[in-house]
Chains A and B, each alone.
Chain A
Amino acid sequence: MDPHHARYPFFDGARAAVGEADISPPALIAEDAPAVERGLERVERALMEGTVAPEEPRRWSDREELLSYPIARILVSLVDTPAAVDKYAAAEAATAHERFSADFQTDDDGLQSTSSPTVSLDRVLREFDLSGAVRPERTDPTDRRRGGRDPTHYWVGVGAYLTLASADWGERWRLVNRELATGAVRVTNDELHRLLEEAVRRRVADGLPFEVRGNSAGDEIAEALDDEVESLRNLLNDHDVAGRTDVDAVVPGLFPPCMKALLQRAQSGESLPAHSEFSLVSFLVAFGMDATEVATLLGADGDDADRIETRVTYLADAEGSQFAPPSCASMQSYGDCVNRDERCETISHPLSYYTSAVRDAGEVRDWREAVGE
């Protein structure tokens, strides 16, 4: 099989590959194959952590990765809530974004630093029928230093731009604030990747949820996945609880050590890895900080502020339910669980740490009030 399909299972070719596989999703479900477990993990991590990447990548073969995608779609359809569909599609897209950004980078360097095969930008553009709508900015031919390197900017046809970008992503994305000339919008490399992420999100969300039940084969599938669907539903309910906290004061001095460390790194200007930034921002959003407050606390400006604003908007979705910040276990798996202290022994979630710390501290002073003065 084409190993691209394991990493990008929503590609059209991957769908065909699933069709041609020697075993169908219903058969996998019937025999409780590893792809089913991985499919469940896909959805679980999507709902809880905004990613569909496996916790232990070595556990799964390319084939299982590929086949887990249609299983995940069946599971999301059976859970059948708008929040589940939205979050699942967003997480598939965010993961794809991380993967192709890394791929394009590798492509760019000409170094195959990983063993997995990479996709090129052209390949992804073709996949989403955007080849004709996106062109690289011609760089100055006299500037030798950029010779052979990827351009820093692209021009995206205004129709494609308006189809993919949303004014909700922030002022910077509004057409009125863009450089638009001869029918195309100028975007940075990163912005192009964001647009492609949206193309992925739409592709994944398209057709979800679908009717699984209604015929004997479908009913059988639904029955076989009963436990999985039940556990996902519980997860959604739990996570709505976990995503909320009674504390609404912002007191950075009382943050758990892991979040303190991430905050300090961000404030010192370090560009955090995506999963770490996700952890930190979702933690801050959980007690009601808005985009501007988060950006101010992190000391972010310009493009960083815009990116954080986008992330906050994404985390606090329209229904008011939020992505819960990662648990202690997830923080450990990311390598972000640092400087553990005594209180850490008593809790399993950074939010619980903070709630209990604020409770013990009695009277606290909100960071936002201090800023206002």
Chain B
Amino acid sequence: MEARTRDYLEGRFGDYYRRAQIPLPPAAERREWGYIPWSAGGTTMVRHQSLLDVGDLGDFLTRTAPRHVYFSSARFTDPGAGTMDEKGWQSADLVFDLDADHLPGVDPETTSYADMLDACKDDLLKLLDVLDDDFAFEETQVVFSGGRGYHVHVRDESVRGLDSEARREVVDYVRAIDLDVEGLVGTESNRGTTRRVLRRHGGWGKRVHDRLLELAENLREMEDADALDRLQELQGIGEGRAKTILGQVHNNFDAIREGNVEAGGPGTRILVDALAREAVAEETAPIDEPVTTDTKRLIRLPGSLHGGSSLRVRTLERDEIEAFDPLSDAVASRFRGRDIAVRVTDPGPVEFDGDSFTLSAGDQSVEECLGVFLMARGRAEKVKE
């Protein structure tokens, strides 16, 4: 990045912050703050700052116009102290990070930025399902990171004190790591007899049971021949087992509803395994483990600008998520409505602000929001107007 470009972005980030109203996170005075200035080549973080050091946040951001701004997930007794020991850790928000760089099946080399963000949003919705239904967290904040993904901050008091190890348990749950599929079936005693049932009162057992019920409902509606075909699509289920299972679906639906896996014969067990694999493949979210298990992490500040994209780090209400398009909805309006001159150094396809087009190399005039986006991403440099 050339000096002229850096100065330009720094100046315009400052202009953005002059007008922006950036809300403080809860207990802001007990958190550590950090930032990366434009001048430092974009890598050196100034950290161990307390709000006392920073002063009024709005003033500070306008004055410093940093490239990146962070605050700690943790609350400390003395956040400005230079070492972790002296800071006095009190608690930490539980933070989840979905990053398009780490999505399974998505190659960042060949996938467009827009497509990566789309894939990431699907995973965000899966993550929120698990956090809402299973964990029932109440104080959550969903944030577009301004870069390649999403953050979810959980601030329920009941989990703020958890150590790294306990947080790893949460990660493993969300990702179904080390899930004991055989253990999804347990024994239950009822009126003096024991039987083998899906552990369906919650967790992955319930997710599998939901799928089992849905499949059984569908099979009930089908012609027998189709239903048998459907069952035999599953690995390990031949005609005989399919017939036993289907008989169960027709004659003893209650047993399935109660999670009884004995009644349908050995085929039911195989069915459960197959549905468990399906549930894990479709309902886990590939959250980044080190972010969640780190109890002292610095996280990007909602409302700030991401220096690698110029997009706003944006808090999303739940009903906004479905329709949210980061490449237009996170564009700072400060940068709209006027054109600037840039030299495109990395031409090629671009998707931005609801549009998709091919950039040619060389000097040209573009709308400022596109200009700062390209410069922040290293695809253009500022030239004299």
The complex places the Cα of A174 from the Cα of B175 at a distance, in Å, of 13
CA distance A368 to B178 in the complex (A): 28
Q: A180 contacts B183, CB within 8 Å?
A: no
0/1 string, A150-186, CB within 8 A of B gives 1: 0000000111101100110001101111111111111
Contact of B135 among A163, A176, A180 (CB under 8 A): A180
Q: Does B29 make an interface contact (CB < 8 A)?
A: no
A180 touches B203 (CB 8 A): yes
A157 to B158: give the CA distance in the assembly, Å: 8
Query: Which of A158, A160, A176 is B204 in contact with, Cβ under 8 Å?
Result: A176
A179→B169 contact, CB < 8 A: no
- Whether the pair B180, A179 counts as a contact (CB closer than 8 A) is no
**B203 and A160 contacting across the interface, CB-CB below 8 Å:** no
Instruction: Please state if A181 and B161 are interface contacts (CB–CB under 8 Å).
Output: no
A320 interfacial by beta-carbon distance below 8 Å: no
CA distance A69 to B253 in the complex (A): 58
Chain A residues with CB under 8 A of B156:
159
Kindly provide the distance from the CB of B195 to the nearest chain A CB, expressed in whole angstroms: 14
Chain A residue contacts of B133, Cβ below 8 A: 181-182
Does residue A302 face the partner (Cβ distance < 8 Å to B)? yes
Q: A181-B202, A183-B136, A302-B187 in contact; A176/B166 too (CB < 8 A)?
A: no
Contacts of A133 in B (CB 8 A): 158
Does chain A have a CB within 8 A of B113? no
Beta-carbon contact of B183 and A172 below 8 Å: yes
Which residue of the partner chain B has the closest CB to A157? B158
Q: What's the least CB distance linking B51 to chain A, in Å?
A: 27
Do residues B162 and A175 form an inter-chain contact, with CB atoms below 8 A? no
CB distance from A142 to the nearest CB of B (A): 12
A176: chain B residues within 8 A (beta carbon)? 169, 172-173, 176-180, 203-204
Q: Does B269 contact A (CB under 8 A)?
A: no
What is the total number of residues of chain A having a CB less than 8 Å from a CB of chain B? 26
Instruction: Say whether B353 faces chain A, with CB atoms less than 8 Å apart.
Output: no
The answer to whether B270 has its CB under 8 Å from any CB of chain A is no
| Residues on the B chain within 8 Å of A162, using CB | 159, 162, 166, 169-170
**Contact call A159/B173, Cβ cutoff below 8 A:** no
Question: Is B202 touching A174 in the complex (CB atoms < 8 A)?
Answer: no
CA A171 – CA B202 in complex, angstroms? 17
Interface string of B203-217 (1 = CB under 8 A from A): 111100000000000
Which chain A residue lies CB-closest to B190? A143
Which residue of chain A has its CB nearest to the CB of B172? Answer: A176
Chain A residues within an 8 Å CB radius of B180: 171, 174, 176-177
Question: Which chain A positions have C-beta within 8 A of B206?
Answer: 179, 181
A118: shortest Cβ distance to chain B, in Å? Answer: 26
Q: Which residue of A lies closest to B187 (CB)?
A: A302
Which residue numbers of A lie inside 8 Å of B, CB to CB? 133, 145, 157-160, 162-163, 166-167, 171-172, 174-186, 302
User: Residues on B close to A: CB < 8 A?
Assistant: 133-137, 156-159, 161-162, 165-166, 168-170, 172-173, 176-180, 183, 187, 191, 199-206
